[in-house]
Amino acid sequence: MRPRSEGPCRRCGRVGPLKARGLDESCYAAAHQAGQLEQYPLVQARVDLAEADRLEEEGRSTSDIALHQNVTPDALRLARWRRRQAELARDASALPPPGTPDNDDIP
C-alpha cells in the first residue's frame, strides 16, 4: 500500500494524512460530492533519482529509499526504468541507421 503523504490540506489547512490532490479525507469527499475536485490539481510525488542513486550507493534498499522519498517502491522502479529507456533511446539515435555503410567502407 502506498504511504500517505502528510501535510496541510489545500482546502482547510489542517495538517495530517492527505488522501489525494493535496486534500485530507474529509475535504476530498466534500469536494468530490460538490463536483469541485477539478479546483484541486493532481499532486504528483516526484522521485529524486540523484538522491536515490546516492542512497543506493550507501547500500540502502529500494524499499528504504522509497520510504525516505515518500513514494512507493514501484514508483521508484518506474522512474529508474524510464531513465534507462531514455538513455537507450539516446544511444540508439547516435547509431547510423541500419543498412548504412560503416565509415571504414566509405572511400
Average pLDDT over residues 73-98: 86
Q: pLDDT class for 91, splitting at 50, 70, 90?
A: confident
Q: pLDDT higher for 54 or 46? A: 54
Asked if residue 107 has pLDDT above 60, the reply is no
Torsion of CA 13, 16, 20, 25, to 10 degrees: -90
pLDDT at 47 over 60: yes
| Residue-level pLDDT at 94 | 75
Work out the pLDDT band at 62, boundaries 50, 70, 90.
very high
Q: What is the pTM of this model?
A: 0.53
Burial class (CB in 10 A: 0-12, 13-18, 19+), 71: buried
Spatial separation of the C-alpha atoms in residues 10 and 1, rounded to whole Å: 23
Q: How far apart are CA 101 and CA 29, in angstroms?
A: 63
Average pLDDT, the chain: 85
